[in-house]
Structure 1
Amino acid sequence: GDFGEDVEKHLLQVADQLGARGRIYHQEQPLGTAHAILCAEPSLHGPCLIAFADTLFKANFQPEPAADGTIWVKKVENPESFGVVKTDEEGYITDFVEKSPVFVSDLAIVGIYHFKEAEKLRDELQYLIDNDIKEKGEYQITNALENLKNKGLKIKAAPIEEWLDCGNRQSVVATNSRILELKQDQETLVSPQADIQNCIIIPPCYIGPGAVLQNSIVGPCVSIGSRTKVSRCILSHSLIREDSELQNATLKGSMIGQHARVNGHIPDLSIGDYCETNC
């Protein structure tokens, strides 16, 4: 889909900061992971790393040198909600299964893949599209991976240390809390350019440059974006974006977009950019 010019510009800036050249591809219809990856066909050549954008990771991302591909996995308690893999005694993948209601494995595919030759993956993705091979109404990357495995490619499962979901508001709030916990002893999270007056800050919290906080209790696990103004509020386990304004609010487990206005006690709130609410 179209994420908007500002978001695309920011993504390209992130790539540039990492010393990479960014390109934007669009998936115009929600036809599944295999279809989405194939939308980037011009970039599917040579060594290739694929990472889904709705999760955050912490791991050693060193591909297995002897393998044709590496897929990072995480042991989960609810494997029926994920695509999973089965492995042999050496950790090579023997089976790919997409969200099975029957237990087959608890090693969930987290959404990071490395291939030595992306052309082989590209051809299998195209085969799914050309032959209209779908699973649960969508073209799934697990079907392409199963085909590659059956053709003799050796794909290794590699463990991941931390897997943080960003698929909905609750998971984003929880992920924000965990990121703050991980970073509180490594980075300065409260900007010296923030103006904080008569407030209690309960760490870990991120407070961006230019933010103005007055007569409020903030934390734990709150992120406040740059230039946001907070007055007479009690905030915990929440994420507030840039250039917003909150007054007389008590929020927990909430997400507030950019340039938003909140006035009043509305717990468990989720509003987007340029929204306004009064209570």
Structure 2
Amino acid sequence: MKALVLAGGKGTRLRPLTHTSAKQLVPVANKPVLNYGLEAIRDAGITSVGMVVGDTGSEIMRAVGDGSEFGLDVTYIPQEAPLGLAHCVLIAAEFLADEPFVMYLGDNLLVGGISSLVESFRHRPCDAQILLTRVADPRLFGVAELGPEGEIVGVQEKPLVPRSDLAIVGVYSFSPAIHQAVRAVRPSARGELEITDAIQWLIDTGRSVRSHVVTGYWKDTGRVQDLLECNRIVLELVEQDIRGTVDGLTEITGRVSVEPGAVVENSVLRGPIVVGADTKILSSYVGPFTSIGPECVIQDAEIEDSIVLGGSSVHGVSRVAHSLIGRNVEVSRAVGTPNIHQLVVGDHSKIQVRA
């Protein structure tokens, strides 16, 4: 059994971060979202992975390499433009050959992995197995409609009037029959080859399509609020691990991970939090559900429920919360008069200040 990992797309909902970085590499608890998926695939016993990449392909390739770091053998499949999930299957046909496979969206996070789902597919083969979860606003997702016996009778892609609240999770299992389906469908109104249309073709032609409702945590990390929520969930699993240098004036409560080379002085750390390698936290408060990347500086500041990416600094500011701070960003207090806010902000950013 093989895996097809989708790591293309433009990440428009995460701009400005994704102007310069792949959305799949934005970290949750200091680890790229993509890594969680690759580890889940490996833990499910799959080693041969095809990875569809787009404009950010070079960055993905630098981060993943040949896959050996994850115990995988990765083959890269370029996609000229984001033309839909079914198009990804279409261009991966040579790699996938006639084997069943798991398709995993690289910006999705499914806590608990996929081992049981893969085992279910192996022991009860079908032409498509899709995972479903109940969501508050199904208009944002592919949606499945179930019949009276729980069977799948239809699927829709981001419908204006959803027929159910069951969203399709970004992990699928397919038999080789999906290749005929993706060749049969035509582009949608969005100009894309939709995987939901291919699944509907399987249903309409009498193929076996099975579903499973996910009760654990799943999130599409396409928006800032989704990343922050994932960060909170994953940090709940953090264990106490102090490998950096923490002085005697620092107060630590809860589960706190301080990576090697990090220095913490005269500060308060309230977990769960992760402090990246070679980061400095000086005379500051770092509150729950915060992950601070490598080589950052937090000084005379307060921050909580936030993600800070590598190389950034927060100096003399209180209080930062519910924030996503990109790489090599400087956040500091303005001094002198008049009392002004001085901002240098990129496209598609969101700033909230208290007047």
TM-score tier by shorter-chain length is 0.7 to 0.9
Deviation (angstroms), 1:238: 1.1
5 Å-filtered alignment, 1:55-70, equals 55-59=108-112, 60-62=116-118, 63-64=120-121, 65-68=123-126, 69-70=128-129
CA RMSD, 1 decimal: 2.7
Please point out which of 132, 139, 146 is paired with 2:200. 146
- Cα distance change, pair 257–103 in 1 and its aligned pair in 2 (3 A): closer
Deviation (angstroms), 1:271: 7.0
- Cα distance change, pair 111–20 in 1 and its aligned pair in 2 (3 A): same
Please point out which of 73, 86, 90 is paired with 1:38. 90
Rounded Cα–Cα distance in structure 1 between residues aligned with 2:263 and 2:137: 44
Rounded Cα–Cα distance in structure 1 between residues aligned with 2:240 and 2:135: 27
Confirm whether residue 115 of structure 1 aligns to residue 171 of structure 2. no
Q: Corresponding residue for 1:80?
A: 139
Deviation (angstroms), 1:112: 0.6
Deviation (angstroms), 1:199: 0.8
Confirm whether residue 104 of structure 1 aligns to residue 163 of structure 2. yes
For residues 174-193 of structure 1, what are the alpha-carbon distances to aligned partners after superposition, in whole Å with 9 as ceiling and x for unaligned?
22122112335898633254
For residues 226-258 of structure 1, what are the alpha-carbon distances to aligned partners after superposition, in whole Å with 9 as ceiling and x for unaligned?
222211111111111122232223422222223
Provide TM-score, normalisation by structure 2. 0.67
SS in structure 2 opposite 1:149?
helix
SS in structure 2 opposite 1:9?
helix
Q: Corresponding residue for 1:277?
A: none
Is the contact made by 1:96 and 1:146 (CA closer than 8 Å) also made in structure 2?
Answer: yes
5 Å-filtered alignment, 1:204-219, equals 204-219=272-287
Deviation (angstroms), 1:136: 3.6
- Cα distance change, pair 7–264 in 1 and its aligned pair in 2 (3 A): farther
Rounded Cα–Cα distance in structure 1 between residues aligned with 2:117 and 2:63: 24
- Cα distance change, pair 111–247 in 1 and its aligned pair in 2 (3 A): same
Confirm whether residue 194 of structure 1 aligns to residue 262 of structure 2. yes
Is the contact made by 2:142 and 2:168 (CA closer than 8 Å) also made in structure 1?
Answer: yes
Rounded Cα–Cα distance in structure 1 between residues aligned with 2:70 and 2:151: 31
Rounded Cα–Cα distance in structure 1 between residues aligned with 2:331 and 2:89: 39
Amino acid at match of 2:65: L
Is the contact made by 2:256 and 2:269 (CA closer than 8 Å) also made in structure 1?
Answer: no
- Cα distance change, pair 47–270 in 1 and its aligned pair in 2 (3 A): farther
Provide TM-score, normalisation by structure 1. 0.83
Amino acid at match of 1:216: S
Rounded Cα–Cα distance in structure 2 between residues aligned with 1:188 and 1:254: 19
Q: Corresponding residue for 1:179?
A: 234
Q: Corresponding residue for 1:220?
A: 288
Rounded Cα–Cα distance in structure 2 between residues aligned with 1:271 and 1:247: 20
Is the contact made by 1:48 and 1:116 (CA closer than 8 Å) also made in structure 2?
Answer: yes
Please point out which of 134, 137, 140 is paired with 2:188. 134
Q: Corresponding residue for 2:18?
A: none
Q: Which region of structure 1 is more displaced relative to structure 2, 211-220 or 99-108?
A: 99-108
Q: Corresponding residue for 1:125?
A: 182
Identity score, percent: 27
